[in-house]
Amino acid sequence: MALNTILKPFRAIAVVTALGVATVQFGVGGVQTAQAAQGPESVADLAEQLLNSVVNISTSQRVSNNRRTPRPRIPEGSPFQDFFDEFFGERDGEQQPRSRRVNSLGSGFVIDKEGIIVTNNHVIAEADDIEAIFADGSKLSAEVVGADPKTDIAVLRVKPEEPLSAVSFGNSNSLRIGDWVMAIGNPFGLGGTVTTGIVSARGRDINSGPYDNFIQTDAAINRGNSGGPLFNQEGEVIGVNTAIISPTGGSIGIGFAVPSDLVQSVVEQLIEFGETRRGWLGVRIQPVTDEIAESLDMEEAKGALVAGIIKGGPVDNGSVLPGDVIIKFDGQDVEDMRDLPRIVAESPVGKEVEVVVIRKGKEETISVTLGRLEDGEQLIAQAQQVDEPETATVLGMEIAGLDAALREKYEIAEDVSGVVIVKVEEESAAAEKRIVAGDVIVEIAQEVVNTPEEVKERVKKLKDDGRRNALLMIANKTGELRFITVPMR
């Protein structure tokens, strides 16, 4: 990362209070009377109330040591032969693999007095043994109920002899920038550590997963805080601390927590099913740039542009089309492309929802029944070969009809149709947009083209209409689609 900044996974909890203000009053005769300065309002009561619900997570994992030490040559029948056989782990002439145990620490919190604990997936991933250590020093063996790497959330279960102290989730959507928060966790193995700070920002995307929507806080969070809760002033969990940005590995006041509204839905599914069951629309999307918005007669650049449809997916029936811009999903606005995957994923599988799209400049409302993302992930992996993607010189490109010879030359998949690009002029607008020979023009301005003449006619019409850019749908040799705006100079 730039400036030697490293993104560190972790979890932490934060507790906060309002700061007192020192004041100075003027008495009779101009004599100054100083009112005692007040420090931060104590959070001792809140911390005491919450400490017992926060646990340290200790994990161990046995890993093999593949390094082989050469066995020294010794005479046959040497009195040291048995010793060397044991030391080098050899039996019957075969060297046995050696292993070592690796331990790690994290944090977690109890959400059910019967023994349900929430933590980070990266805290317990691949662990052989997991132990929850409570504030009073007691320890309980824990088993994994379920884990979700996409949000880095895991649920554990312990079997206590007596009911545990539990906390509840709060509404992270009600958080405001500047609200006080508190973190309790196990930094560097120092359990039961309380820190306070504020909400520094919301909706942060740190490129850690498909559903990034982090709360940023300046409450001190360090290694070992991973999986711990972020509390509001009411003692409710409004986030699970997951990552920090730090050039040193320690806290510099930039930490990130998964918001409770996302965590809660994941936790409920993990408890009920042992896995997540996310909604799935079955589309590939890309951002709506200013150029694309202009080409589609949109007043502003917003929403998610549908670049392709997954075969066999929920909308592989013509209800949603490539080139549609999704601006609203199930009553929620889609302001940015990254909003859509999160909103869809939070929707129940099988739910019928209304999707508002802009299609050829007009708004349309479509009814869609959602599939299940987990069941469709294999289809998504195969979606590199989507239906869709033939010739002349236009916009700095030499184009030709897509025949068998060109299909073989450029290794273009059989299900790709359109107009193939055989040459791109250097320093042309098309070259600047990274269009290369072998790409196939499928559509121009949302109209299918099958011959070079159709391409030239579409470009000429756009110029006659006063358009500055041509919106092209381009397919690569496997059929993967993307939209590109090429200036018509």
- What residues contact 272, with CB distance under 8 A and at least 6 apart? none
For residue 122, indicate whether it is catalytic: yes
Query: How many CB atoms neighbour CB 336 within 10 A?
Result: 15
Q: What would the two tokens of residue 450 be?
A: 């099958």
Residue by residue, DSSP assigns 216-264 as: EE-S---TT-TT-EEE-TTS-EEEEEEEEEESSSS--S-EEEEEHHHHH
Which residue among 53, 104, 226, 265 is the active-site one?
226
Contact 11, 241 (CB under 8 A): yes
CA proximity to 310, closest of 262, 238, 377, 211:
377
Using CA atoms, how far apart are residues 233 and 182, in angstroms rounded to an integer?
8
The CA distance from 132 to 386, in Å, is 48
Beta strands (DSSP E) in 1-53 are: 6-9, 24-26, 32-34
Q: What is the dihedral of CA 416, 422, 426, 431, to 10 degrees?
A: -10
DSSP three-state, residue 399: strand
Active-site entry in 122, 148, 246, 439: 122
Structure-token pair, residue 188: 């560097």
Q: Backbone phi, then psi, for 238, in 5-degree steps?
A: -115, 5
Signed CA dihedral, 101, 245, 186, 234: sign only: negative
State yes or no: is 226 an active-site residue: yes
| Overall size of the chain counted in residues | 489
Q: Assign 3-state DSSP to the chain and report helix, strand, coil percentages, each to 5.
A: 20, 35, 45
Question: Of 53, 107, 148, 152, which one is the catalytic site residue?
Answer: 152
Gyration radius (Cα) of the chain, Å: 30
Residue 170 near residue 237, CB atoms below 8 Å = yes
136 is catalytic: no
Q: Is the dihedral of CA 81, 82, 85, 90 positive or negative?
A: positive
| Enzyme catalytic residues | 122, 152, 226
